[in-house]
Amino acid sequence: MTGTAVVPKKRMSPRKRAALVRYVQYALLVLLVVVLALIADWGEIRRAFLDLDIAGAQFPDVIVIALKNTIIYTACGFAFGLALGLVLALMRLSSVGPYRWISTGIIELFRGLPALVVFLVLGLGLSLAFGTQLSNLTTVTLALGLVGGAYMAETIRAGIQAVPKGQYEAARTLGMTHSRAMITIVLPQAFRVILPPLTNELILLTKDSSLVYILGLSLDEYELTAFGRENMNANANLTPMVTIALCYLLITVPLSIVVRRLEAKSGKAR
């Protein structure tokens, strides 16, 4: 086109066009819902997913056994993972070369492996290799702890590095030893920063705790997923899965809310 050509006037202002795009999106959404509602067999769905008799029969075991075990497995794994993550983070920041290499190796190894593989290796491999039978609780604690700890180590390291160097120096200047300065001054500040990502990790571990099924569980060791599967198979019905899904959400949604609160708070503090 030559320079003399008149630029054609746009037919629609950018704002109007954005509004139109939005309406189209809403319309598509409504259409989708209507189509789904029309083609779905609601009676069948209710029978398969929302059978109240089957749901009722799951209580109280789904709470006092399954939910309880999920919480115990997650809590043990998280506690071990947090301790391990802290140690690995401090090792990564150490001035001693071998400490750094070892912790980097462990972190990369367990971040790189699927959690399922870690469960398998710990659950079956350890007993084969050493001839000792670890309890399922020990295995799940170790497995979740190793997987979670590897992630948390990097988070904690970043948190420690986010504390200004002057804080550590001021503490040392007052005569505190390295460990005293870390424990009293640096780590409390680091943990404030990393509380949201650590809580996210807790949510992930809650879900990963379902992998414990691979170890073969006795009835009183069932956690939510194993319990749900068992009941689903026994009843040839999906209602138990809906129940346990709600139980998972009972744990994870409050945690998500906590994370969002914490993030909002630390966002304000800055």
Partner 1 sequence: MTVTADRGAAAIDVQQLHKYFGDNEVLKGIDFHIGRGEVVCVIGPSGSGKSTLLRCVNLLEQPTSGTILVEGDEITDPDADVDALRARIGMVFQQFNLFPHMTVLRNLTVAQEKVLKRGRAEATQVARANLEKVGLSDKADAYPAHLSGGQQQRVAIARALSMNPDMMLFDEPTSALDPELVGDVLAVMKDLASEGMTMMVVTHEMGFAREVADKVVFMDGGVIVEEGLPADVLGNPQHERTQAFLSRVL
> For binding to partner 1 (CB under 8 A), which residues are involved?
164, 166-167, 169-177, 180, 184-185, 188-189, 192, 269
Tokens for 241? Answer: 């899965």
Q: Judged by CB, which is closer to partner 1: 104, or 189? A: 189
Query: Which of 190, 259 has the CB closer to partner 1?
Result: 190
Q: Smallest gap, in angstroms, from Cβ of residue 191 to partner 1?
A: 10
Q: Angle at CA 46, nearest 5°, toward 42 and 51?
A: 170
Q: What does the alpha-carbon distance between residue 267 and residue 270 come to, in Å, rounded to a whole number?
A: 6
Q: How far is the CB of 185 from partner 1 (least distance, A)?
A: 6
What is d(CA 243, CA 49) in angstroms, rounded to the nearest whole number? 9
What is 6-68 written as a DSSP string?
A: PPPPPSS-HHHHHHHHHHHHHHHHHHHHHHHHHHS-HHHHHHHH--HHHHHHHTTHIIIIIIH
Residues in the chain: 270
Of 94 and 173, nearer to partner 1 (C-beta) is 173
Smallest distance, Å, CB 38 to partner 1? Answer: 59
Q: How far is the CB of 268 from partner 1 (least distance, A)?
A: 11
What is the smallest separation between the CB atom of 201 and partner 1, expressed in angstroms? 22
Q: Measured from the CB of residue 160, what is the shortest distance to partner 1 in angstroms?
A: 14
Distance CA 3, CA 1 (A): 7
Nearer to partner 1, 18 or 174 (CB): 174
- Cβ atoms 77, 209 nearer than 8 A: yes
Our CB check for partner 1 shows the closer of 179 and 218 to be 179
For residue 82, which of 145, 13, 174 has the smallest C-alpha distance?
Answer: 145
Q: How far apart are CA 188 and CA 204, in angstroms?
A: 24
Q: What is the largest CA-CA distance in the chain?
A: 88
The smaller minimum CB distance to partner 1, of residues 25 and 173, is found at: 173
